[in-house]
Structure 1
């Protein structure tokens, strides 16, 4: 990355920002709605002393720098003080796909609505894969609705960019996955523990154990390594959730959920349709037999989709109403640093970072 690319991302002065509201909070971070130079942005912040999370934020910033796409966020600025660090991205007033689905009749989308959002997800993931990025955290809460009604994929702190380097010795072979080797604490978000490189076609596989439990792919649980195909497993889970209003492998606890992911076939209730066929071909345990992006785009469910023109659809299924900045907002009365410190000073002993509440 050149110095010119670096200087294009401004440093934001907290004292000069209009802080409109708190959008969400998680185990170590808070997301604020801010106005900067006339633009509404989402500012994601964490406590600076948390070195592990600081590294994740820096990695996420580097991923955001690479992206120039209408379905993906742009990095709008950095924040760094003695106490916090964070970054600002585009704000999406339509909420996330999970929130939108809950507003639907019977909390389920029609096939036509699913086709629109599913098509845009394919485009976004294809673009990321073209940059060499494995997303690894696809779920409805990470699919935001922009002001124009099109989606925006967010939250890249679990993303990775596999190396093509081959291990020098067997000592780099990963150990058994933590799920099979020991008990995991009771959090929904699983964060990286280790990464290794192994020869796998043109890219290496990662063995980090990350994700949200209901969406984790079988190859991540078995510790055999994973690559871009892991995103298409998560994509299949999301399509299932959009169709049925629930994920396909959820058990009464984490252990049962993981057991179902490894051994249970998805229940595709109802008459055979192209959408159910697509979901079944995505939720295949063996990643080598899972559909590729070309096969997904050529599937019968997407017959008639204009892959070049869908980004220019003027009236998507849902277009959010304009934001009323006067309602429920305490402009400039929120001290960002004090707020973040106040929220998390009681959580200093927390070892795992919980999932951000999406904005």
Structure 2
């Protein structure tokens, strides 16, 4: 989407809610069908993320707040509006009422990578399946890094399966912006050239003019950063710039983030190592009985790569290198023995990926769900967050206080 394209506004009254898909710390995701006149055709299926205005306002009244919650929402939509890549979401519309704000992306009927793993024999992927999905994740992360975006929350629940069987990386809640990473020569498809860094007009002013002024490309947006000793955003053009915020999902957090020494794009390659381990073994490599033990294991434990030495286990080991300066990066990853033979220019052109779900998820679009009646999005979202129980969420995310309270062994 370029700067001249207008993001369509969604009419809440013309969105048929088929089912809630999931809940996060900041909102609820619904499967909806746009019932706007489509010349008699069924409306397209969309995944709508709806966020309660009240929950945002409550957070921004805290003493340590600087409006970062609004910045985060604007940043997430800015990312969606700027990305032009088949493995990343496209912003299909925005929603704004007195009670909620939100946005819609394409619905992925194959659910997430974790759901697909559990459907496999022994709940683990074969090496060939891992190779395909690993290659697509590398391409998606490389593209984001070329835009200067550190994703910071790679995990199976954030990797969706599109209708065509290819992946889609979703949920940019924890992403941040550093100086863009120069793409390697052999990578980005011609239709995914990174967008140049230039100031763009605020495409979301219609939706957020009552919330917060437009942000710059240098803004870092997770609320935890506003209580950090470091600035809440990075404006440097230093190619070696780092973020000092502490965010992530605990089993996937990189060592340098726990240590607070600053982190850059390499945290995403650590997360890729954790995801590949989970795909191979069915478990993450550092999970402890509680957060404290998990962090201790991340900092001190060598991953147990059970089984005979293979290229895949070697790649996982190099991705889970605790020293980010020694950790394998994109050029080495793409040239690694495990991915040898991958035609990087044609990965996205594969017409028959390993798993093609089709248009509808049978469970979500079941007859039982269709009989539940029409869901009122506003009432549903406000009901979910009226008590502001942010800790009890799907895929709970680590905040700055967790870092402060972590005891060094």
Q: Give the alignment's TM-score, normalised by structure 2.
A: 0.76
Alpha-carbon shift at residue 2 of structure 1 (Å): 8.2
The 5-angstrom pairing of residues 209-358 of structure 1 reads: 209-323=246-360, 325=365, 327=367, 328-330=369-371, 333-345=374-386, 347-348=387-388, 350=389, 354-355=393-394
1:242/1:223 CA distance change after superposition, 3 Å: same
Deviations 1:46-81 (A, max 9, x none): 110223544422221111111010000001111111
Matches of 2:391 and 2:383, distance apart in 1: 19
Q: Where does residue 42 of structure 1 map in the other structure?
A: 47
Q: Hey, which bits of structure 1, 4+ residues long, moved more than 6 A?
A: 198-201
Q: Where does residue 4 of structure 2 map in the other structure?
A: 4
Matches of 1:10 and 1:356, distance apart in 2: 30
Unaligned runs of 5+ in 2: 37-42, 60-68, 181-221, 397-409
1:219/1:19 CA distance change after superposition, 3 Å: same
Instruction: Tell me the SS of whatever aligns to 1:4.
Output: coil
Instruction: Tell me the SS of whatever aligns to 1:276.
Output: helix
Matches of 1:27 and 1:133, distance apart in 2: 21
Matches of 1:351 and 1:335, distance apart in 2: 21
Question: Is contact 1:142–1:154 with CA below 8 Å preserved after alignment?
Answer: yes
Matches of 1:111 and 1:154, distance apart in 2: 24
1:135 aligns with 2:151: yes
1:18/1:295 CA distance change after superposition, 3 Å: same
Q: Give the total of aligned pairs.
A: 329
Q: Give the alignment's TM-score, normalised by structure 1.
A: 0.86
Higher mean Cα deviation, 233-242 or 317-326?
A: 317-326
Q: Where does residue 206 of structure 1 map in the other structure?
A: 243
1:75 aligns with 2:75: no
Matches of 1:98 and 1:79, distance apart in 2: 29
Higher mean Cα deviation, 194-203 or 145-154?
A: 194-203
The 5-angstrom pairing of residues 81-230 of structure 1 reads: 81-162=97-178, 191-192=224-225, 193-194=227-228, 195-196=230-231, 202-230=239-267
1:245/1:336 CA distance change after superposition, 3 Å: same
Deviations 1:162-210 (A, max 9, x none): 259xxxxxxxxxxxxxxxxxxxxxxxx9954435459896141001100
Instruction: Tell me the SS of whatever aligns to 1:57.
Output: helix
Matches of 2:125 and 2:357, distance apart in 1: 17
Matches of 1:145 and 1:2, distance apart in 2: 25
1:32/1:319 CA distance change after superposition, 3 Å: same
Deviations 1:99-147 (A, max 9, x none): 0001111110000000000000000000000011000000000000000
Matches of 1:334 and 1:91, distance apart in 2: 18
Unaligned runs of 5+ in 1: 165-188
Matches of 2:252 and 2:154, distance apart in 1: 8
Matches of 2:341 and 2:19, distance apart in 1: 42
Question: Is contact 2:179–2:236 with CA below 8 Å preserved after alignment?
Answer: no
Question: Is contact 1:190–1:211 with CA below 8 Å preserved after alignment?
Answer: no
Question: Is contact 1:79–1:86 with CA below 8 Å preserved after alignment?
Answer: yes
Deviations 1:7-63 (A, max 9, x none): x21111101212221111234421111112521100001110223544422221111
Question: Is contact 1:24–1:356 with CA below 8 Å preserved after alignment?
Answer: no
Matches of 1:77 and 1:200, distance apart in 2: 32
Instruction: Tell me the SS of whatever aligns to 1:136.
Output: coil
Question: Is contact 1:268–1:276 with CA below 8 Å preserved after alignment?
Answer: yes
Measured on the aligned residues, the alpha-carbon RMSD in Å equals 2.4
Instruction: Tell me the SS of whatever aligns to 1:288.
Output: coil
